[in-house]
Amino acid sequence: MKFSKRTNWNTEESELSLAFRQRQSAGLPIYDLTASNPTRCGFKYSADLLPPLVDPATLDYDPNPKGSLWARHAVCRYYADHGVTLDPGQVVLTTSTSEAYSYLFKLLCDPGDEVLVPQPSYPLFDFLADIEVVRIVSSPLVYDHGWQIDIEGLRRSITGQTRAIVLVHPNNPTGHFTKLNEARQVAAVCREFDLALIVDEVFLDYGFDAADFHESFAGLDLGIPVFIVSGISKICALPQMKAAWLVAVGPHSVAALERLEVLADTYLSMNAPVQRALPTWLEGRMAMQSQILRRVQANLAELDRQLARQLQMLVNRLKVEGGWYTILRIPAMHPDEVTARQLLDLGVWVHPGQFFGMSGSGWLVISMLCTEVQFSRGIEIFLEYIHRNQDSYQIG
Ligand SMILES: Cc1ncc(COP(=O)(O)O)c(C=O)c1O
């Protein structure tokens, strides 16, 4: 038997994740500064989230390729709360944003085609693309008093095979929102090269400063085909419930939706109880979002407090506008994987920057989702480690 080339992955466990697993099974303490599963971070979930799952109405199977109208109306109400009017016909429900991406890559790309993603970004893109035999081409994000899209770099990365640009708004792990002028510049590039724009808005509701531009791309009239992907794993902190969607706006959306409907009809992956419960979950999202925002902002303030108290110049936190993560610039003494490994031996679990496509050494990505007590202790140990090693650092 021969396996397909697209599944030719190196499935060997990395030394780092093996070390993590061993530490976990040995029962040693771990301050998890990578935590991304909100169901394991001590947030309070209302018991009211569950009864709709056993509504007798779910015993009737009424297959609808785009998802039940009842649930798609609820998605439209979510956008209405963001000041955007959508028709349920523009919404296709999926079990995850990953599935939404797979529909979009199938819709837009033939094998070998390319999708541009400003990096650093969400690490799953490479796998999602591999599975669809599509190539992810990274284009640079630049950091200068905040993250920005390098529009010329983006333009230079376009080839005859490019079919779409993906923006994550706000981005994971940089935590920056795409600004309105950048959205317009990216749209101009899409128009010039006949590309679609895919915008991932799973963290849209987690902006820190109300003065920033936090709008959904669903409401921007950019004059190009735009597909927004989002879902309840972040919006409602319910990753276990498996519900997400894509929204099509702009030119060609009617033709795109016709094709998407056939794609979705082939899988019919949505189940009835989850669709029945989706309106309740979306209506209850503020209760989760407020807890998470409070936590993330408290942990960010604690990070800044510890960085300031140490009067140290060795660690810098990059500017962050929203989301659950932040990036730390540390002395580039050795590969970040080695730093992550040494920190793990001290009980602190962080992501090396390469995991998110950051180039060079000296970058750690940390999540601000874990409890305040865990976070504070984790940062303390991390800073002690940096200080202990400071004589051997060369800043660069
Ligand atoms: C940018 C981004 N999009 C999508 C997801 C995952 O969404 P889903 O659980 O709906 O596949 C993540 C998860 O961390 C993410 O960071």
Of the residues 41, 122, 242, which should be mutated to test ligand 1's pocket, given the most ligand atoms within 8 Å of the CB? 122
Q: pLDDT confidence of 283, banded at 50, 70, 90?
A: very high
User: What does the alpha-carbon distance between residue 108 and residue 385 come to, in Å, rounded to a whole number?
Assistant: 47
Q: Fold identical between 5-44+286-386 and 48-284? A: no
Q: Are 133 and 83 in contact (CB under 8 A)?
A: no
User: What does the alpha-carbon distance between residue 316 and residue 247 come to, in Å, rounded to a whole number?
Assistant: 38
State how far the alpha carbon of 345 is from the alpha carbons of 23, 106, 342, 383, in Å.
8, 43, 5, 14
Report domain extents, the chain.
5-44+286-386, 48-284
Tokens standing for 312? Answer: 């140290």
Dist. CA 243 → ligand 1 center (Å): 11
pLDDT digits (tens, 9 = 90+) for 140-190: 899 998 999 999 999 999 999 999 999 999 999 999 999 999 999 999 999
Phi/psi-derived region of residue 32, left when phi > 0, alpha when psi is between -120 and 50, beta in every other case: beta
Residues with Cβ within 8 Å of residue 26, at least 6 apart in sequence:
none
Report the SS3 class of residue 339: helix
Computed over every residue of the chain, the mean pLDDT equals 95
- What is the pTM (predicted TM-score) of this model? 0.97
pLDDT digits (tens, 9 = 90+) for 20-33: 999 999 999 999 99
Report the SS3 class of residue 256: helix
Helix or strand (DSSP H, E) at 351: strand 351-352
Q: Is the pLDDT of residue 390 over 90?
A: no
Residues in the chain: 396
State how far the alpha carbon of 242 is from the alpha carbons of 172, 233, 274, in Å.
20, 7, 8
pLDDT digits (tens, 9 = 90+) for 85-129: 999 999 999 999 999 999 999 999 999 999 999 999 999 999 999
Q: Is the pLDDT of residue 396 over 50?
A: no
- CATH 3.90.1150.10 correct for 5-44+286-386: yes
pLDDT of res. 228: 98
Give the mean model confidence (pLDDT) for residues 307-336: 90
Q: Are 348 and 31 in contact (CB under 8 A)?
A: yes
pLDDT digits (tens, 9 = 90+) for 249-277: 999 999 999 999 999 999 999 999 999 99
User: What does the alpha-carbon distance between residue 209 and residue 246 come to, in Å, rounded to a whole number?
Assistant: 26
Residues near ligand 1 with C-beta < 6 Å? Answer: 36, 96-98, 122, 168, 172, 200, 202, 231, 233, 239, 244
SS3 percent helix, strand, coil of the chain, rounded to 5, is 45, 15, 40
pLDDT of res. 304: 96
Q: pLDDT confidence of 208, banded at 50, 70, 90?
A: very high
If you take atom 7 of ligand 1, which residue's CA is the nearest one? 97
Strands 147-149, 135-143: parallel, antiparallel or unpaired by DSSP?
antiparallel
Of the residues 119, 136, 202, 204, which should be mutated to test ligand 1's pocket, given the most ligand atoms within 8 Å of the CB? 202
Amino acid letter, 114:
E
Q: Could you tell me which CATH number the domain at 48-284 has? A: 3.40.640.10
